[in-house]
């Protein structure tokens, strides 16, 4: 076990886990992660699972985790889409109509939240290319859309030109697959930011909005929250920008050599080899 245990909060009431590389790898749980989550539940500690993925519904993650022996609830799952909904509800309640670029899971989450959602491929194009749309939208919400094309980008650009806010569920430039990397939501967001000249509001990690949405919704202050993640650039930086402490686990993208070389806001409060060491770090701090 590496890291400054004394630098973790003296009292921890909320633990936020990243998923891939922390709770599971592929379709298999990280050894010890089901036991760690079960122990936290038994102590009454608030638990959240946070992912930048915008394509899968929270219910989908409940099912996936349940199949790994990790029972959870929709309320404990936070995707970049659900965090976007929470952020808009608290900080931009005037947003009601949304033009969306994303997958079906994102559409379902936005619609379930009561927003008036129209997917970009379902919008009637302007009378003249580049002209105004036939209706106005309060916001353009952008997630990962594997079927994105020029027409969808053009529609979204027209909506922003018509006054819509530009909101990105996340800005991941790429995401991993078993065969290699594919373009992430950030690649679509970058295209729209370049075309519109508008800086998007980004919700997902490492932006602080996702973790702030979690702490605000839970009513637990960031000073009593610990984020457990495997990515210094996303999980640790995002935690610190939101005012939370972070434990870096070496079960995913980071190893001991990488952890030893971290500097600045990428330095976690503690480093743990895996779930068992995370429990040792947290046990004396739970109330």
| pLDDT level of residue 26 (50, 70, 90 thresholds) | confident
Residues 86 and 113: their CA atoms lie apart, in Å, by 9
Residue 128 has pLDDT above 90, yes or no: no
Residue 226 has pLDDT above 70, yes or no: yes
Tokens 């990280």 belong to 30
Please identify every residue annotated as catalytic.
Answer: 18, 20
Residue 3 has pLDDT above 80, yes or no: no
Q: Are 71 and 100 in contact (CB under 8 A)?
A: no
Q: Looking at the DSSP assignment, which residues form a beta bridge with residue 14?
A: 46, 225
DSSP H helices, 197-254, are: 209-218, 237-241
pLDDT in tens, 34-87: 999 999 999 999 999 999 999 999 999 999 999 999 999 999 999 999 999 999
The residue ranges of every structural domain in the chain are: 9-52+206-249+265-270, 93-202
Indicate the CATH number for domain 9-52+206-249+265-270. 3.40.50.1000
| pLDDT level of residue 264 (50, 70, 90 thresholds) | very high
Fold agreement between 9-52+206-249+265-270 and 93-202: yes
Mean pLDDT of 222-229: 98
Q: Are 277 and 243 in contact (CB under 8 A)?
A: no
Q: What is the largest CA-CA distance in the chain?
A: 65
Q: Are 226 and 15 in contact (CB under 8 A)?
A: yes
pLDDT in tens, 79-126: 999 999 999 999 999 999 999 999 999 999 999 999 999 999 999 888
pLDDT at 5: 42
Name the CATH superfamily housing domain 93-202: HAD superfamily/HAD-like (3.40.50.1000)
Cβ-Cβ contacts under 8 Å for 145 (sequence gap 6 or more) = 101, 102, 103, 152, 185, 188
pTM: 0.93
Of 23-27, 78-82, 239-243, the one with minimum mean pLDDT is 23-27
Q: Are 224 and 12 in contact (CB under 8 A)?
A: yes
Distances (CA, A) of 141 to 96, 110, 199: 12, 9, 13
């Amino acid at each position: 076990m590496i890291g400054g245990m004394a630098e973790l909060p003296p009292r921890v009431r909320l633990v936020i886990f990243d998923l891939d590389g922390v709770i599971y790898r592929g379709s298999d749980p990280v050894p010890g992660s089901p036991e760690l989550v079960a122990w936290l539940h038994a102590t009454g500690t608030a638990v959240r699972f946070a992912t930048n993925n915008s394509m899968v519904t929270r219910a989908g993650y409940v099912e996936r985790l349940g199949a790994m022996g990790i029972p959870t609830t929709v309320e404990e799952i936070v995707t970049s889409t659900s965090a976007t909904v929470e952020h808009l509800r608290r900080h931009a309640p005037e947003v009601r109509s949304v033009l969306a670029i994303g997958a079906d899971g994102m559409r379902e989450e936005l619609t379930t939240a009561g927003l008036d959602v129209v997917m970009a491929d379902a919008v009637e194009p302007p009378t003249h290319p580049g002209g105004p749309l036939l209706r106005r939208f309060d916001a353009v919400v952008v997630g990962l859309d594997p079927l994105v094309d020029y027409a969808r980008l053009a529609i979204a650009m027209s909506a922003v030109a018509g006054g819509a806010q530009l909101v990105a569920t996340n800005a991941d430039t790429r995401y991993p697959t078993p065969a290699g990397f594919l373009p992430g939501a950030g690649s679509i967001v970058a295209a729209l930011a370049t075309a519109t000249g508008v800086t998007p509001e980004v919700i997902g990690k490492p932006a602080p909005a996702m973790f702030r949405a979690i702490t605000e919704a839970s009513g637990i202050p960031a000073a009593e929250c610990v984020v457990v993640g495997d990515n210094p650039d996303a999980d640790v930086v995002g935690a610190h920008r939101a005012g939370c402490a972070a434990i870096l686990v070496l079960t995913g993208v980071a190893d001991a050599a990488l952890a030893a070389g971290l500097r600045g806001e990428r330095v976690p409060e503690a480093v743990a080899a895996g779930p068992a060491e995370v429990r040792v770090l947290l046990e004396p701090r739970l109330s």
